[in-house]
Chains A and B, each alone.
Chain A
Amino acid sequence: MKIKWALLTLIFTIATVLTGCEPLLVLDPKGPQGRTTADVIMISIWTMAIVVVVVFALYIFIVRKYRASNQSEDYEPPHIEGSLKLEIVWTAIPVLIVAFLSVVTVVSTYKVEATPEGYNEEPLVIYASSSNWKWHFSYPEQNIETVNYLFIPTDRPIEFKLYSYGPISSFWIPQLGGQKYAMADMVNTLNLAADVPGEYSGRNANFTGEGFAQQTFNVKAMPQKEFDEWVKEINATAEPLTEDKFEELLKPGHLGQSTYTGTHLTFSPPPEGHHEKGDSGNEEVQPGSSKKEQDEEVDHSKMNH
């Protein structure tokens, strides 16, 4: 019976750690999207904990009670085909649990996919593109571009446009919300927001080869006023991003943080979904154009049937 105690101790330890004083990144959200997912995770953990407790209790009870050493020599276990009533019970209860979790999932999935609500300002659009093994952040509105670090204003929705100059990468800032893929032939949209100023870590979560482990970036969330000052300062001091310079940045390897005025969107526009003929890299893209997103939806529904 040692194993059960070992298991229970471990579960207890996990529960302590999850709720303990040093919170885990995913369960210590700093924005609305991260909060939603953290809530969903906690709901699912508690629901599943009930399941685990019921199964374990039943299991321990049965295995203790019906062990051979606990029974008389001449006990002959009965032949029982099954019980329709009981089988309906343990079909119906899981169905109810799954139904409950399905509702939670659908509501929360729509919520984290949409622009976070409750903010007065329009979303800030940032293009986040990965290349081996770096992240490039373009702020078309502010006309600046950064490498491997991200400054964002708090209390304002951020709309990330994700794509890749290489293998499939996954853009992830655990404390702000879930991740999404950046791919070479289409743009994905990820909606996040930060409520609390502070520094957060971000990374590529999807394996991209040799330099994958170090493909990280820093996120600094600050009030809008500070953000505007930062933008002003960059526009005054940073070098312009030329096409040659960008080509150099794309080369496989690791880079520190750097900042430029202008963005690569002008000379190296992001892929436009994957509709039409595939070689659409040459068309001019309006940041945040809604037509593009619709087309992406259509293509996906076609692919996943």
Chain B
Amino acid sequence: MKVDHSLPLEYGTEQNRLNILGFWIFLGAEIALFGTLFASYFTLVDRTGSGPTGAEIFEITPVLIETILLLTSSFTIGLGIHAMRLGKAKAMITFFAITLLLGLGFLGVEIYDFIVYIHEGATLQTSGFTAILFLTLGTHGAHVTFGLFWGAFIILQVIKRGLTPETANKAFIFSLYWHFLDVVWIFIFSFVFLKGMM
């Protein structure tokens, strides 16, 4: 495997460069996926049937906590990648671990939120609105959950194998994924929650 040392480690090999481009294209598909969910959300948002509207169930506090947790995690993973570029494996692992903990916190609050909605009579089956609400949030949440496992695997591999072109490549791609989830959340926060509460 030829390694080009003039480039950052994660771009070092031909396969690494392919992986990163491939992942960007995957993110393009993810944009189409979430775009479809948002379009469907806007179509169904007022179709609440006999169930509650968004304004009736949304609460600002948990949503703000989720936002802060996820935004911070996006920042810490950026620090993790910075540490990786400097070759500091330990610092990188620490920042990645913090990121995942923040992600876990986010997921905890989101699950709490779901339980609150269900108690207020907004279940998955209640109306077109609740269905698309749970699906949009749930798809994002499932991505975060998947990311937690993925990130944990990468941390384990960096611990075991150190910073190699392979592990660095994986970590970098994971950071792209995590930033992307943050961007999606910003859209959810603005167009689902803020707009819904207004």
Do A and B truly interact? yes
User: Binding site of A, secondary structure by majority: helix, strand, loop or mixed?
Assistant: loop
The answer, yes or no, to whether A245 is at the interface (CB within 8 Å) is: no
B166 → chain A closest CB, angstroms: 44
Q: How far is the CA of A277 from the CA of B48 in the complex (A)?
A: 5
Q: How far is the CA of A277 from the CA of B51 in the complex (A)?
A: 9
List residues 252-274 of chain A with CB under 8 A from any CB of chain B.
274
Q: How large is the interface on A (under 10, 10 to 19, 20 to 34, 35 or more residues)?
A: under 10
The answer, yes or no, to whether B61 is at the interface (CB within 8 Å) is: no
Q: Is the CB of B43 within 8 A of A278?
A: no
Q: Is the CB of B43 within 8 A of A277?
A: no
Residues 147-164 of chain B, each 1 if its beta carbon lies under 8 Å from chain A, else 0: 000000000000000000
Give the residues in chain A near B49, CB-CB below 8 Å. 277-279
List residues 194-239 of chain A with CB under 8 A from any CB of chain B.
none
B41 → chain A closest CB, angstroms: 12
B54 → chain A closest CB, angstroms: 12
Give the residues in chain A near B48, CB-CB below 8 Å. 277-278
Q: How far is the CA of A171 from the CA of B155 in the complex (A)?
A: 62
Among A275, A277, A303, the most chain B Cβ lie within 10 Å of the Cβ of A277
Q: How large is the interface on B (under 10, 10 to 19, 20 to 34, 35 or more residues)?
A: under 10
Q: Is the CB of B43 within 8 A of A274?
A: no
B191 → chain A closest CB, angstroms: 15
Q: How far is the CA of A276 from the CA of B49 in the complex (A)?
A: 9
Q: How far is the CA of A277 from the CA of B127 in the complex (A)?
A: 10
B96 → chain A closest CB, angstroms: 41
Give the residues in chain B near A279, CB-CB below 8 Å. 49-50
Q: How far is the CA of A302 from the CA of B42 in the complex (A)?
A: 9
Q: Name the residue on B nearest A305 (C-beta).
A: B39
Q: How far is the CA of A279 from the CA of B46 in the complex (A)?
A: 11
Q: Name the residue on B nearest A276 (C-beta).
A: B46
The answer, yes or no, to whether B85 is at the interface (CB within 8 Å) is: no
Q: How far is the CA of A278 from the CA of B47 in the complex (A)?
A: 5
Q: How far is the CA of A302 from the CA of B46 in the complex (A)?
A: 12
Among A278, A279, A302, the most chain B Cβ lie within 10 Å of the Cβ of A278
Contacting residue for A274 out of B42, B47, B50, CB 8 A: B47
B77 → chain A closest CB, angstroms: 35
Residues 9-50 of chain B, each 1 if its beta carbon lies under 8 Å from chain A, else 0: 000000000000000000000000000000000110011111
The answer, yes or no, to whether B128 is at the interface (CB within 8 Å) is: yes
Among B46, B50, B128, the most chain A Cβ lie within 10 Å of the Cβ of B46
Q: How far is the CA of A302 from the CA of B47 in the complex (A)?
A: 14
Residues 270-305 of chain A, each 1 if its beta carbon lies under 8 Å from chain B, else 0: 000011111100000000000000000000001100
A302 → chain B closest CB, angstroms: 7
Give the residues in chain A near B46, CB-CB below 8 Å. 275-278
Give the residues in chain B near A277, CB-CB below 8 Å. 46-49
B26 → chain A closest CB, angstroms: 26
Give the residues in chain B near A302, CB-CB below 8 Å. 42-43
Give the residues in chain B near A303, CB-CB below 8 Å. 43
Q: How far is the CA of A275 from the CA of B44 in the complex (A)?
A: 10
Q: Name the residue on A nearest B50 (C-beta).
A: A279
Q: Name the residue on B nearest A277 (C-beta).
A: B48
List residues 38-73 of chain B with CB under 8 A from any CB of chain A.
42-43, 46-50
A202 → chain B closest CB, angstroms: 32
Give the residues in chain A near B43, CB-CB below 8 Å. 302-303
B47 → chain A closest CB, angstroms: 4
Q: Name the residue on B nearest A185 (C-beta).
A: B47
Q: How far is the CA of A279 from the CA of B127 in the complex (A)?
A: 10
Give the residues in chain A near B128, CB-CB below 8 Å. 278
Q: How far is the CA of A274 from the CA of B49 in the complex (A)?
A: 11
Q: Name the residue on A nearest B44 (C-beta).
A: A278
Give the residues in chain A near B127, CB-CB below 8 Å. 278
A119 → chain B closest CB, angstroms: 38
Q: How far is the CA of A275 from the CA of B42 in the complex (A)?
A: 13
Give the residues in chain A near B42, CB-CB below 8 Å. 302
The contact sample of 14 A-B pairs, CB cut-off 8 A, is A275-B46, A276-B46, A277-B46, A277-B47, A277-B49, A278-B47, A278-B48, A278-B49, A278-B127, A278-B128, A279-B49, A279-B50, A302-B43, A303-B43
Chain A positions within 8 Å of B, measured between CB atoms, are: 274-279, 302-303
Chain B positions within 8 Å of A, measured between CB atoms, are: 42-43, 46-50, 127-128
List 11 extra interface pairs beyond A275-B46, A277-B48, CB under 8 A. Answer: A274-B47, A276-B46, A277-B46, A277-B47, A277-B49, A278-B46, A278-B48, A278-B49, A279-B49, A302-B42, A302-B43
